[in-house]
Structure 1
Amino acid sequence: MVTRVTSSTSSERIVWIDCEMTGLSLEHDALIEVAVLITDYELNQLDEGIDIIIRPPEAALAQMNDFVRDMHTTSGLLDVLAEGTSLQEAEDAALAHIKEYVPEAGKAPIGGNTIATDRAFLARDMVALESHLHYRMIDVSSIKELSRRWYPRAYFASPDKKGGHRALADITESIAELRYYREAVFRPQPGLESAELKQIASKYQVG
């Protein structure tokens, strides 16, 4: 069910995005999957998310290295690329979905894991979508790296990830991961005991 919002609530949303690509080179690689999911600032999920398969240029597929090819074969993504949409159609669909929850441009930050990489591809290929987002980013990977150094017990007790390099599943796990760190880490040092951390992690284990 779509929730209608006004511009006054746009800044209270987080636009979670994950992209799958043929590699990490902005010069040679292509977007092949984009997923979007919206939460509020309390990390309550506001939609079921949208997942879009993009049909890439043959040249981008041909130059994929073995690691990436194996990864996308295992996930099943390569098998459905021929049925994918065009880049423009993908951007139009994703942006329309975002605007249902975030009608005002420049208000809601993008969230995800190592999200600067995804944003770089969006800035190259989906300019209207990327420019609709606030310039700030909520990178769960940064919180994870700080936790590894400052709260190692919390880091090592964090929920396992099983998204398998499919965009919407990866987003769902990113949100669950941030919920975990919010409860396990954002409290006075030295934090909780390992048994308590494991109990929290079990609540946010996806799948």
Structure 2
Amino acid sequence: MDHLSNAFSLLDLDVENGLNVEVDRILEIACVITDGKLTKSIDGPHLVVHQTKECLDKMGEWCQEHHAASGLTEKVLQSTTSEQEAENKKNVGTYTPLIAGNSIYTDLIFLRKYMPDLAALFSHEIVDVSSLKALCIRWYPRDNRRAPRKGNKHRAVDDIHESIAELKYYRDHIFKSFNSKK
């Protein structure tokens, strides 16, 4: 992983949860480390975190429906990995990774509350792909129409790969060098 453990690499992260940090918990966490050009990647840990049925029943209707449809609810109930065990699997190296992903700030809120030691490893700088998308919709609507569409699987690894594809699209089609247009 040394060739990816540098200041230019990104740790693409996704945390599946119940959306309400005050009552819901982390259900699944996964990451993929990419080089700064998004050309090389290494899959990091992918963990389904055990939660009780009572915990899952507290989630909002949207979360209950989507996590059941994706199979995540059943996997959470079957998992033997606790939040603490998941937090202790720190496979991000000794550098401070720049984290990336769709709505990554929401994931970071859950990590700060339920996995603070893991959250402390990350830089204050984040690459929020959802924010880039919001700007592209407003500033480059024609280009944004060609951006990759999400599969809406709502599973951590799938969401990460969709975020990376979206980020590659924005890099190649939106963040082009002005010199390359001449």
TM-score scaled by structure 1?
A: 0.80
Query: Within the alignment, does 1:63 sit opposite 2:58 as a pair?
Result: yes
Give the Cα–Cα distance (whole angstroms) in 1 for the partners of residues 84 and 112 of structure 2: 13
Residue of structure 1 in register with 2:2 after alignment: 4
Residue from 116, 126, 129 that aligns with 1:140: 129
* Aligned 8 A contact 2:46 2:157 in 1: yes
1:153-175, CA deviations, whole angstroms, 9 ceiling, x for partnerless residues? 11111112115000011001100
1:131-183, CA deviations, whole angstroms, 9 ceiling, x for partnerless residues? 11111100111111110011001111111211500001100110010000111
Give the Cα–Cα distance (whole angstroms) in 1 for the partners of residues 73 and 21 of structure 2: 20
Deviates more, 1:139-148 or 1:49-58: 49-58
Give the Cα–Cα distance (whole angstroms) in 2 for the partners of residues 62 and 163 of structure 1: 22
1:97-129, CA deviations, whole angstroms, 9 ceiling, x for partnerless residues? 212xxx13xx32110001110000001111111
Residue of structure 2 in register with 1:24 after alignment: 19
* Aligned 8 A contact 2:67 2:154 in 1: yes
Query: Within the alignment, does 1:98 sit opposite 2:92 as a pair?
Result: yes
Residue of structure 2 in register with 1:41 after alignment: 36
Residue of structure 2 in register with 1:86 after alignment: 82
Residue from 142, 159, 168 that aligns with 2:148: 159
TM-aligned CA deviation for residue 12 of structure 1? 2.1
1:69-104, CA deviations, whole angstroms, 9 ceiling, x for partnerless residues? 1101111101111222100111112x1x212xxx13
Structure 2 spans left out of the alignment, 5+ residues: none
Structure 1 spans left out of the alignment, 5+ residues: 193-207
Amino acid at match of 1:89: E
RMSD of aligned residue pairs (Cα, Å): 1.9
Give the Cα–Cα distance (whole angstroms) in 2 for the partners of residues 83 and 10 of structure 1: 36
Deviates more, 1:121-130 or 1:40-49: 40-49
Give the Cα–Cα distance (whole angstroms) in 2 for the partners of residues 10 and 59 of structure 1: 42
Give the Cα–Cα distance (whole angstroms) in 1 for the partners of residues 33 and 45 of structure 2: 10
Give the Cα–Cα distance (whole angstroms) in 1 for the partners of residues 92 and 97 of structure 2: 10
Query: Within the alignment, does 1:170 sit opposite 2:168 as a pair?
Result: no
> Once the two structures are aligned, what percentage of the paired residues are identical?
35
* Aligned 8 A contact 1:16 1:39 in 2: yes
* Aligned 8 A contact 1:14 1:41 in 2: yes
**3-state SS of the aligned residue for 2:110?**
helix
Structure with greater helix share of residues: 1
TM-score scaled by structure 2?
A: 0.90
